[in-house]
Structure 1
């Protein structure tokens, strides 16, 4: 059920991380044009991720015995906010740090924790998440990829789609069916760690409108895995994946996808010395909405810091944040078009084109709008 989100402030000791993170992020983006920084989510740079790991900015919420920082969710909030604010390339560590390592910590066995979490904290492993499938989309209970028990472990057959960074990935955590049929819905689902270099795994990149290939299809053809590929207990996959999605949906990454474009547009307005009321109102509206969304995200972070799983609240942040991110490029494009006498910087124009093209994907990643609103409706007792 839904609980009221209570405003939360960043603890001073976590906010104190900003200068060091900002220096590292700005050094990585100093020579990047605006349109490249606008690709922050998709910016893949293993060397930068290793630098973050060496500086202690990955695995902040994980225990020190596994290489983590032993801090709370607020510390990670600060780091993510600083990285996205300048458009630093985060894709190489993004999923592993945010989802995979906490999932393995909470549900994996000790051998899995020792094997995977320390290199994740060092920025050395790239993980991807195998959830969506053709014909299933965000209806994760409809997954058909199957893992059959064998004498030595598991044999996987099936397909995943819209898998972020699978092309670069080392491992996938896949939601698969280990018993029953699709008609059983949530029952019989499990999560497996799959080595993407294993025989029988093939990855096919999907090019988007921008020309990038962030997404991919992944095929499993009689992929044999050891017993310890299973995370937790067989059949507990649905419980595990819903807990995992709370990490994915509630953070500042759900409100800052278009922030580089927003900053570039406001810089343009200062140069253009424009004072028309409609434009000023638009800047004020976006600023107020961003501040409100940030406050909601912080409130969710406070609940995560208390060990709670704000599934409904995180879905609200993700749905409202995605709407904000998708409206920005359209509104900015129309504002620029309404003032054809004022020249537009080439970098701003390219950033606008990129974000306009990629924005439809914002409501795919992390759960479609329809699925999120179903979760919200159930949490509010409306269905």
Structure 2
């Protein structure tokens, strides 16, 4: 994830913090410093409490990630954002038992932290559990003596909130895994999506009727997250078994490193292609990729006569003809590219896979129940 700074690495997983994370620290400092009337001491309390809470968030995400690694699922990184943490996994296992264990691991970590804090409170003869009225009162007071109770309740709340049976929370995945024990994975996903969006509608209605627009925003977030999960599984189901070579453009327009950008402009205007593989003059070996953004930046900086080799990308994702189409689509989405060269085992260009190719394949396969032969 861009705009992120690496903090440390655990079991091959980079733990990063997004630059916008500073916003939650600023909010915490203002909230505890101004609203409580405690000044800079309250601001310090708010920052420390928030940082400690995000230690628990990090452990929550590590719980998911380490369990995923156990089942052979690659985890690229964990990124801390103002609203929580995100584990970037390559895929979610379709085996219900594996998904269930990965999903439940995060909340269980929070419950374990809460249990540990309660034990620490017992040893130190300090209260680690408080009632709801006491919690509300403590939120208006920057009291260091109440930090233990605050963190205990926060971890319990974090665990319980994530178990709400709605995507993108962990509870949505737990529900799908349980349903998938008795029905098809795609149908289980559709049912879990419907449950999640139903809960989101009720939450949004409750928030709207009560004038609590924070609940409305949460409901919108849940509704959209559930819909996105459902769409992704539907796409995966439709594209299942289809190879990149079946959907790619087989004879794309190419350019060489010596071609001027004026030739690329001509090709762009005369064809429907916007991104161009760059190959060696004497053969079709792939050496680069010129995206439309690269071309526009090159025109602005160097003009029409600039050579392609001066502005092309030399590091870019590529696929093989036998790669699964859905996996290629996920790679393109992750790397935020519209096109991906397809190369054979010898490194020669075999075709070009574009977002339009994938969309066309999806539309055709959706309309044809029997799929492609």
Same fold (TM over 0.5): no
Q: Which has the higher contact order (CA 8 A, sep 6+)?
A: 1
> What TM-score, normalized to structure 1?
0.25
Q: Indicate the structure (1 or 2) with the bigger Cα radius of gyration.
A: 2
> What TM-score, normalized to structure 2?
0.25
